[in-house]
Amino acid sequence: MQLEILALRHQLAVYQRDPRRPRLTPSDRLLWVWLARVWSGWRDALVFVKPETVVAWQRKRFRDHWTRLSRGGKPGRPQVPRETRALIRTMSRANPLWGSPRIRGELRKIGIELAKSTIEKYMLRPRKPASPTWRTFLENHAAELVSTDFFVVPTVRFTVLYVFVVLAHDRRRVLHWGVTEHPTARWTAQQMVEAFPWDEAPRFLLRDRDSIYSGEFRRRVRNMGIEEVLIARRSPWQNPFVERLIGSIRRECLDHVVVFSAGHLRRLLSGYFAYYHGSRTHQSLEMDCPEPRPVQRVESGWVVVAIPQVGGLHHRYERQAA
């Protein structure tokens, strides 16, 4: 009864303030929200508004309460420093063949940790669409497995040069490579001997069914204690690691130069493989290099310098003291 008297007197006081149209203050609304919580008969005593309005007041109060709590700190992700944003744009401009994973790997090597989506937000977009990348079909591979393959390179005089590569699967290292204009089974077998000269041959060799791997090559490999694993016909996806390597060589080096001779090609590949092993980051190696590359923290220096690689096609970024 006391609560009912309180409710009726409060409504009478509201009407006395403005008899034409009652105007409610925040304290008036708060009183009725409290009455609705402690008194079950509050609906019968309510006259100046509908019961649904009181419920809406409570919901709005609840939303406002949690809005104030959520706005206590700074909203969103921490802001990326202006210098880092400029560095991302500089890297993407100087290395148009790089995507966000490559830039992320370079930034990690100089002590800057950023998400891939953040890098994509600030990097420059090339006019041409990025070249598609090879998919990794073999997730599990043995440490004692190597792959071999040939690829051809035409010269300015339309001479076709053949490049033979031997790739180790454990760290994506190019163990050996050779260039010739007339590949034979004997020459290919000799390349395998030069790749593993000190009784360090792997257990398995993954290759295709090219006719260059004839009887002399197979005998030499068998005498070295290597077991050959042949892929199916017309199935290069079964040898993905070396195929990905050849694709990277073409996209990142050979597609941007004109080869004059075999000696010129050897110099180009020597420079690229030096960059490939010591500077280029790989997604499969958790953005590290085949030859592990140390991470430079901010304490190493505040100035980030670009070191040209492969004749300026790519760059390596390091910190230096000011």
Q: Which domains does the chain have, with CATH numbers?
A: 2-70 (no CATH), 82-130+294-320 (no CATH), 145-284 (3.30.420.10)
Tens-digit pLDDT string for the chain (322 aa): 888 778 777 777 776 777 677 777 778 777 777 777 777 777 777 766 667 777 777 778 778 877 777 776 566 667 889 999 999 999 998 898 888 999 999 999 999 999 999 999 999 876 655 544 434 434 454 578 899 999 999 999 999 999 999 999 888 999 999 999 999 999 999 999 999 988 788 888 999 999 999 989 999 999 999 999 899 998 888 898 999 999 999 999 999 999 999 999 999 999 999 999 999 999 888 899 999 999 998 888 889 999 999 999 999 999 988 6
Residues 6 or more apart whose CB falls under 8 angstroms from that of 206 comprise 145, 146, 147, 148, 229, 231, 239, 242
| Closest among 138, 62, 64, 130 to 101, alpha carbons compared | 130
Q: Would you give the DSSP letter of residue 312?
A: G
Residue 40: phi, psi to the nearest 5? -75, -20
Core vs surface per residue 88-125: b (16+ CB within 10 A) or e: bebbbeebebbbbbbbbbbbbbbebebeeebbbebbee
Q: What is the pLDDT of residues 47-70, one digit of tens each?
A: 666 677 777 777 787 788 777 777
H or E segment to which residue 205 belongs: strand 204-207
Q: What is the pLDDT of residues 269-301, one digit of tens each?
A: 999 999 999 999 998 888 999 999 999 988 888
Residue 140: phi, psi to the nearest 5? -110, 125
Torsion region of 311: left, alpha or beta (phi above 0 gives left; psi -120 to 50 gives alpha):
left
208: Cα separation from own chain's centroid? 31
